[in-house]
Amino acid sequence: MQGRPAVRIWEVLVLLAVTGGLAWICLGYIQANPESLPEHSGRSIQNGVVIWLRLSSGLSLLPDDYPPLSFLVSAAFYSLFGVSHLVALGSQVLFLIPLLAGAWWIGRELGGRGGGMLSLLAAAGNPWLPINLTAYFLEVGTLAMVAAFFAFLLASRGGNSPLPTLALGLVLGLGMLSKWSFLFFTAPALLWPLILAWRGGRGSRLLTMACLACLVLTGILFRLESEIFDPEFPVVRFVRATGAWIWLAVGAAWIRRREGWSPGVGLSWAFALAFMVCGWWYFLSSSMLLFKAGQDLAQTFPALEALGVLLGTLGTCVWLAPGWLALGTLAGLLLRPLRLPTLAMLGGILSSTLIYALSGVPPHPRYILPATVLVTSLGFGWWGRFRWFWPALAPVLLGLGLYQLGGTLPERITPSEQWVQGLTGHGKLSWHVPRYNVFGIPSQEIGPIARRVLSELEESDETRLTGIVQPGAPGNVDALMFQGLLQERLITVEYFMPPNPAPHPATSLVILVGRPEIQGSWLSEYEEIARWGEDPAGRWTLYRHPTRRDHDPLGERAEGLPWPRPLFESWLSP
């Protein structure tokens, strides 16, 4: 790292202009294609609505298998503007602020003002951004927190500067509230302050050992008696863990009074603050998280296929990303001030890629999205050290970014062959410039299907249906959940896999996307009541069991809660 130059007003203006421009582009995509709702978005949006309903009624959060940061942000937007396609997806655009500000600051630490501008433009021009911002994926929040984490880590000089170190602890907690995979991208970088703390003197070394002991104790308490689902908050275990971190913070304050500030003091306070921010939710959801982790580790996606998706995604996050990354890594290792930041960010890229590949991540690019900001920062931040080079490269990145984000907006265009090969084709590396295009209209209009499903559910006083999407069939059944929200109805879509030990689906209502003859004999017990589409491979068919009824409600999550009136409901009404 080089000496930190003072922030100029023109830097702030450029940051605001890029952030506002990218937000306008993504909101334009959402408005231009209201029928498109990518996979899992409906389920995630409903989680945010349930949190909004509970908090509006004065109720607390309940255990869940996904952290609530994105849901809480969306709930705040719902309270202001109500539930709509634009509000639900547009609420995630708020994460552009920490993302771009973090990328800008990382670049400043690597290459001064010029490096900040280059990293900012490269991160904003990432063609994977609009893909994930026009869906509802939790990785968007994780991406923002990863950028902010590395910005404060570099600003703190590994824990030597007090205020950035405390901010680092806050971001560490918020990052863990975005998704637990946040640690995959940041854990290697935490070795830097840990090593500095160990070398910081006797008091700092004692605090380092105490930090590690608190982490081990918290892990033991987290797993203790968590194998069996218990909706009650584990007060005793949480109080014990909290007490350990409080004593650590008090001990750090005592050592700071005697020996002054040290990386050990900063690390202790940062970890304690992070626990206070996110620890309550992890203890609340401990049993569900352990069950979810067991399910995820049992996935059977081939490691080589997963690795190809991850590497391809990183390779297309900007034009010729592997080349820029290789140059940046080489320069960072050769320049002594940049070695530790380079190793920290490179560790985040490698560890997340390795962990996801070995665990069999599903073939979707969103999982590795948080690492893209590290690729662009390493690839372009160091160029700011060349006094006359970065002003020439900045216009190139600006034009390249606008092209990669789709060009003229918000016109509706269909996916091009280059887009399919360069990005969505399992992330295969392409020498062409990767370019985002607005998703096309779904093969089946979801509105009529949703109205019929809601009508059937209302007549029978049910809240659940089973969705079956055959391999290769174009169908996003989760979108039915979002359509229900627009009608102020909460429904749940369950899934039934063909090699299932159960004799038939748990619900009386089943919607099948694909060919009915492929299903087992259980389907003969059901009656077909509606059909949409002519192509048998993409046909949607609704079935109901003639006698069995499902009266399993949504439990206490939001059952019977009033639907509150938003503060500015008429502003963004569809």
Task: List pLDDT tens digits, range 466-488.
Answer: 888 877 677 778 888 888 888 88
Most confident of 46-50, 148-152, 513-517: 148-152
Q: What is the pLDDT of residue 557?
A: 63
Q: Which percentage of the chain shows pLDDT scores above 70? A: 85
Average predicted confidence (pLDDT) for the chain: 85
Q: Residue 67: is its pLDDT beyond 80?
A: yes
Crossing angle (nearest 10°) for helices 303-315 and 321-334: 80
Predicted confidence (pLDDT) at residue 295 exceeds the cutoff of 80: no
- The domain segmentation of the chain, as residue ranges, is 9-36+92-384, 446-544
Q: Which of 174-183, 449-458, 481-490 has the highest mean pLDDT?
A: 174-183
Residue carrying the six token digits 């996307």: 513
pLDDT in tens, 48-62: 999 999 898 888 888
pLDDT band at 413 (very low <50, low <70, confident <90, very high): very low
pLDDT tens-digit series, residues 73-84: 999 999 999 888
Average the pLDDT over each of 102-116, 179-193, 426-440, 475-489 and give the range with the smallest value. 426-440
Its pTM stands at: 0.91
Over residues 273-293, the mean pLDDT reads 89
Residue 312 near residue 205, CB atoms below 8 Å:
no
Token digits of residue 472: 């290769």
Query: Given a cut of 80, is residue 121 above it in pLDDT?
Result: yes
In a 3-state reduction of DSSP, which class is residue 466? strand
pLDDT higher at 537 or 335:
335
Helix or strand or coil: residue 3? coil
The fraction of the chain above a pLDDT of 90, given in percent, is: 47
Q: Look up residue 134 and give its amino acid.
A: T
Longest CA span, the chain: 78
pLDDT at 142: 97
Q: What is the mean pLDDT of residues 87-115?
A: 95
Q: State the pairing for strand pair 540-544/509-513.
A: antiparallel
Give the SS3 label for residue 543. Answer: strand
- Mean pLDDT value of segment 101-113: 96
In Å, how far are 20, 90, 127, 315, 341 from 25, measured between CA atoms?
9, 11, 12, 23, 32
Query: Degrees (nearest 5) of the Cα angle 535, 541, 543?
Result: 160
Q: How many helices (H) and strands (E) does the chain have?
A: 21, 5
Q: What is the mean pLDDT of residues 449-471?
A: 83
Output the CA torsion 167→170→176→178 (10° steps): -90
Residue showing tokens 């007060």: 235
At 408 the three-state DSSP class reads: coil
Confidence grade of residue 567 (pLDDT, cut at 50, 70, 90): confident
Find the mean pLDDT for residues 324-335: 95
Q: Is the distance from CB of 96 to CB of 147 less than 8 angstroms?
A: no
* Cα separation of the two ends of the chain: 49
Structure confidence at residue 546 (pLDDT):
85
pLDDT at residue 388, rounded to an integer:
84
Determine if residue 514 is left, alpha or beta; phi over 0 gives left, psi from -120 to 50 gives alpha, anything else beta.
Answer: left
The pLDDT of residue 408 is: 47
Q: 572 φ, ψ to 5°?
A: -120, 30
DSSP state of 139: H
Tokens of 448: 């009529």
Interval 9-30 mean pLDDT: 93
> Highest mean pLDDT: which of 278-292, 399-413, 485-499?
278-292
* Distance of alpha carbon 450 from alpha carbon 466, whole angstroms: 14
The pLDDT-based confidence of 424 (bands split at 50, 70, 90) is very low
Query: What is the phi-psi region of residue 415: left when phi exceeds 0, alpha when psi lies from -120 to 50, beta otherwise?
Result: beta
Residue 499 in tokens: 């090699």
pLDDT at 231 over 80: no
pLDDT at 462 over 70: yes
**H or E segment at 532?**
strand 527-532
The pLDDT value given to residue 357:
87
Tokens of 568: 């500015």
| Residue 75: per-residue pLDDT | 94
Better-predicted residue by pLDDT, 417 or 42: 42
Provide the pLDDT confidence category of residue 407 given band limits of 50, 70 and 90: low
Question: In terms of pLDDT, which residue wins out, 555 or 548?
Answer: 548
User: What number of residues does the chain have?
Assistant: 574
pLDDT at 414: 33
Q: How confident is the model at residue 249 (pLDDT cuts 50, 70, 90)?
A: very high
> Which tokens is 224 given?
């203790």
- The mean pLDDT of 341-367, rounded to a whole number, is 89
415, pLDDT greater than 50: no
**With 90 as the cut, is the pLDDT of residue 177 above it?**
yes
pLDDT-based confidence at residue 265 (cuts at 50, 70, 90): very high
Distances from the Cα of 326 to the Cαs of 200, 333, 371, 465, in angstroms? 33, 11, 15, 49
Rounded mean pLDDT, 332-340:
92
User: Residue 420: is its pLDDT beyond 80?
Assistant: no
What are the phi and psi torsion angles at 40 (to 5°)? Answer: 70, -10
Q: Cα Rg for the chain, rounded, in angstroms?
A: 25
Average pLDDT over residues 1-5: 69
